Structures are given as C-alpha cells and as structure tokens.
Chain A
Amino acid sequence: MAMEQLLELLQDNAQLTPAQLAVMVGKEEGEVKKAIARYEKDGVIKGYHALINWERTESQKAAALIELRVTPKKDTGFDEIAGRIMNFSEVESVYLMSGGFDLAVTVVGRTMQDIAMFVAKRLSTIDGVLSTATHFVLTKYKDGGVVFNSDYEEIDERGSNLCD
C-alpha cells in the first residue's frame, strides 16, 4: 500500500527526493530508492517530465488529435500499424480506442500547417489506414491533472480569518 502511494506521489510531483518520499510514506530512504530503481527497471516508471504551458512562451506550437480508422492486420491486429505510427517523432501519443474509430493519435508541430501536411503525407498514406479526421487543439484548459487556463488557476483566498 505504501508503495502504491509512492507512485501516486511521484506522479503528482516527480521532484520529491527519496528522503522526502520516505518520510511521507513511512519507509526507510534506502527502501524507497530501491523501489524506485525497480520501478524504473521494470518499466512501471517510464520517465519524468515537466508540465509546460507552451501558450505562455514565445515558441510556436500546435497540437492536434487525429482519429484514425484502420484495417487491423490478420495476425498482429492493430499493433503493427500503431507501431509504425509511434515511430514518428511528431507523434506524442497513440491510443487504441473503443467506439467510432480505432486509433487516437496526438501530434505536435510548429504550426497547424505542419500538422496538416504530416497527416496528409505520413499518416493517411500508411497501408491499412482507411480515414483520418484531424481536430486541432485551440487551447489547453487542463493537462496531466493540472489547470493550464489562467482564468481557472487556483488562488489561495485563505488567511483573512482570525479565529479558525
């Protein structure tokens, strides 16, 4: 149970040190270090990222969600096509979906034009892809559990009370 907590804590804030984590879950620092090393080795922990709100920076970024309908292969099903799509560095994530389409692919590029060209030239031409539908991201409200849109950002309104 404590180790599951460890993963949740890291998911929330990967900057916590093993010493802090150990105190919080009530384990020895050495145990926590070992557990993290094992999680990394076993591929439970896949990496550590910063959550960046690119809209607040000067750099240009565009993102899109692309719905793909594909013909699954006889032996490998959807895996083979998904594997081909994953190879593109433009592709941020690939999900196999239930419902009206098969693969959901998120793509990032410098401009919408770049993404449109990528879909037209690279994705829709893959053998087995029946159709694509590209939805551009206009703004990001929340990502990775964190609110991005400043209108909804948390303001700590506490502290004016004198006897709590």
Chain B
Amino acid sequence: MIELNSLLNPTIQQIKPSGIRKYFDIANEMEDVISLSVGEPDFHTPWHIREAGIESLEKGRTRYTPNRGFAVLREEIAKFISRHYHVDYAPETDILVTVGGSEAIDLCMRCVLCPGDEALIPQPSFVCYEPIARMAGGVPVIIETKPENGFRLTAEEIEEKVTDKTKLLVLPYPNNPTGAVMRREDLEAVARVVEKHNLLVLSDEIYASLTYGEEGHVSIASLPGMRERTVLVNGFSKSHSMTGWRLGYAAGPKELMALMTKLHQFAIMSAPTTSQYAAIEAMKNGDEDMAYMREQYDMRRRLILDGLNSLGLKCFEPEGAFYVFPSIKCTGLTSGEFCERLIYSKHVAVVPGDAFGACGEGFLRISYCYSVKHITEALERMQAFLREL
C-alpha cells in the first residue's frame, strides 16, 4: 500500500471544500423541495444561439480553434465590450477566449502572483478566488465589505489591507452573493488607490449584463488609466444563459494577455469549438435576449425583495446579479442553523451567507432565477417558518 496522501499536494489538500455541499445533499434526499439556491439562469440558451452550435456540428466543424479563440469571435467580443462597457480592446492581442470566466480568473492569478504575493479579495464573494490565489502560490488577503456600505468596496478598506507585497485586487462586481454593484464614483475612489499602490485589478464582471437601474454597469477598465492595469473577465453563462457551454473571456493589456495565452495553450489548448460558434451568434444577435432576460430578472428581483422585507427580513436592495442577501440576525439563528432548520421543516433550500466568507454570517443568499410561481411558493413557506420560530 502506498501512502498516497504524502504524495499529494498539501496546498490543495488543505483547501476546505465549498460550504454549499451540505445543503445540496440534504435537498437531494427530499421530495417537494423548493430551492432558491442555484446560481445559474433558469432561461434556456436562446434558440438561435443553440442553432448556431448545432449547425456547426452538422457541418463537422469540430477541430481545435486557434489558442486565443476564433478571430471572428474575438472581434465580436471586442465590439460587444466597446458597445456595452465602453472599453476598446484589440482582438488580435488583448482578448483570450477561455473555458468559462473561471479559467480566466485562474490564469490571471497564476500569471500575476508569485510565492508570497498578496491578492486582495473582498468578501462576501464567489468561492473560487481564495483557493485559486492559494494554488497560484499567492497569499489571499480578505477584505470584509459591510452591509452599511451596501457591500461596496471602499478605498479606505483597501488602504487598510494593502502592503508592499500586494499585487492584485479582485473586484467581484456585480457581486455574487450580495447583488451589490459599484457605481462610477465608487470605482473612481478605488482606481486612485490602485494607481497609488501600483496594483493590478482582476475585475470579474460575469454579471455585468444583469445590472438594474438607469446607470447600468460601469467597468473599472473604462476609467482613465485603468485599462492598462485591469484584466476584465466576463463570459456567456449569465448574460446569455450559456452556463453549460463553458465559455468566457479575458480582456486586458497585451503583455499580460500574452502570458495568459501561453498558459492557456499548454493547459487547455483552445476553448470548446461548438461553444465558440454559438458564442459568435450570441455576440452578433443576442443583445435583445440579454435585455429581455434582464427585464424578467428585474421583475422577480422586486417581487422577492418586497416579499422578504414584508417577512421582516431586512434586505438591502441588490442592484445586480440574481441574488438577494437578506439579514437573518433578527431571528437569533446563525446562517447555518437557519438554512438547516428551513430545509428540514419547510423543504426550502437557500444558501448560508458564510459560505461566501466569514463576514457573510448572519445572511442568506437567495437566488431568484426561478419562476414567479416558484418564488411565491418559497416565500409562503418561509413565512410559515418564521412564524413558528
């Protein structure tokens, strides 16, 4: 018998598994579970986009693509970013098509962080940044954003944590799980600190298309001087309901993109070909789908926000993504206790806030990528649950 553990990488062994698992396991054992826990759209990929993928298969277009992704796709992505977020990238050198936004995050961290380098990671946030920073050899430094700031990142919070080892700032907005967005003035303040300390920014804008309200999404890369020090990460999963196609992209300064492309070419070769064909269609003719889905989510957002507030769960108004993040502190329960009791007694699955960082304790992540009927039913069950507490 070999002692396998001694042969495996301790850095990865020591990383804790995601805290969401437990609730999925419980939910899977039950019938009639109403879940508000998933983080992917309920809409299908629009048919014309699926058709483009199908057509490419019918024609036998199943070879590798160029490492960076099809040139025409990169051109369309450049146009898309320019038309929606007002940043200009050269398709030949500044854009890399990746396997989901996740790969772009991984590549960026590995190309930037050296052993001992610090990466600032605001929390609550998507669970991947901390483990990836660690696996890249870096040191994750957590910034706890606060409900009283609407979970926005402030310049002061960065100043408190920045050291001479800090190299990278992760900017996860619109935010999963809080639904917080950064307004232009918030970003301007952050940009000044970033410049002052000569940092790079990994701006994860996967939920950019789901920004509600008049101003719309503002990318930090569109601010003066920031394009050169920002890796903009986005993808097709949330904006075009294409989660399973596994396609995303990174855009940034060409020197860094060249490094990321090198890594990508050795580890991945090229992103899935069928998905790239579908994505070309999504970029060319998908803006209406995107607007339609945003409108639908927006209506559900208002409905669930109103519902939770009338249940007495205090909720700041999320302006992006498809989550609400209500406080459950008034119940006296921890997030974990609340979720466990809720699922056992009312068969409603939600995710405890502390799965997204310790400062998420006292909150729940509730997803509204569900039908209105489903949301209404879940709210009714939660109301009954709260009455019985």
Contact = CB atoms under 8 A, between A and B. Distances in A.
A20 B303 contact: yes
Most chain B C-beta atoms within 10 Å of own C-beta, residue among A9, A159, A160: A159
Contact of B299 (A5, A162, A163): A5
Contact of A158 (B42, B295, B302, B373): B42
Interface string B16-31: 0110110010010000
Contacts of A163: 18, 20, 126-128
A16 interface: yes
B253 interface: no
B27 A23 contact: no
A53 interface: no
Nearest to A24: B299
Contacts of B35: 159
Decide if the interface of chain A is mainly helix, strand, loop or mixed: loop
A162 B24 contact: yes
B38 A20 contact: no
B39 A161 contact: yes
B303 A164 contact: no
A156 to B, nearest CB: 7
A92 B38 CA distance: 41
A23 B306 contact: yes
A26 interface: yes
Interface in A1-39: 5, 9, 13, 15-16, 20, 23-26
B317 interface: no
A31 to B, nearest CB: 15
B376 interface: yes
Given A26-B302, A158-B42, A161-B38, A13 B24 contact: no
Given A5-B299, A23-B302, A25-B299, A159 B24 contact: yes
B88 interface: no
Contacts of B42: 156, 158
B76 interface: no
A23 to B, nearest CB: 4
Nearest to A9: B299
A154 to B, nearest CB: 8
B37 interface: yes
B75 interface: no
B21 A162 contact: yes
A159 B302 contact: no
B178 to A, nearest CB: 15
A26 B295 CA distance: 12
Nearest to A17: B376
Contacts of B300: 24
B293 interface: no
Nearest to B300: A24
B40 interface: yes
Contacts of A15: 373
A13 B299 CA distance: 14
Interface string B112-132: 000000000000001110000
Contacts of B21: 162
B38 A159 contact: yes
B38 A164 contact: yes
A162 B372 contact: no
Contacts of A158: 38, 40, 42
B40 A161 contact: yes
Contacts of A26: 302
Residue of A9, A160, A161 contacting most chain B CB atoms (<10 Å): A161
Interface of B: 17-18, 20-21, 24, 27, 35, 37-40, 42, 126-128, 176, 243, 295, 299-300, 302-303, 306, 372-373, 376
Given A16-B372, A156-B42, A162-B21, 15 more contacts: A5-B299, A9-B299, A15-B373, A20-B376, A23-B303, A24-B300, A24-B303, A158-B40, A161-B38, A161-B39, A161-B40, A162-B20, A163-B20, A163-B126, A163-B127
The 4 residue pairs across chains A and B that have the minimum distance between CB atoms: A164-B39, A24-B299, A23-B306, A158-B38
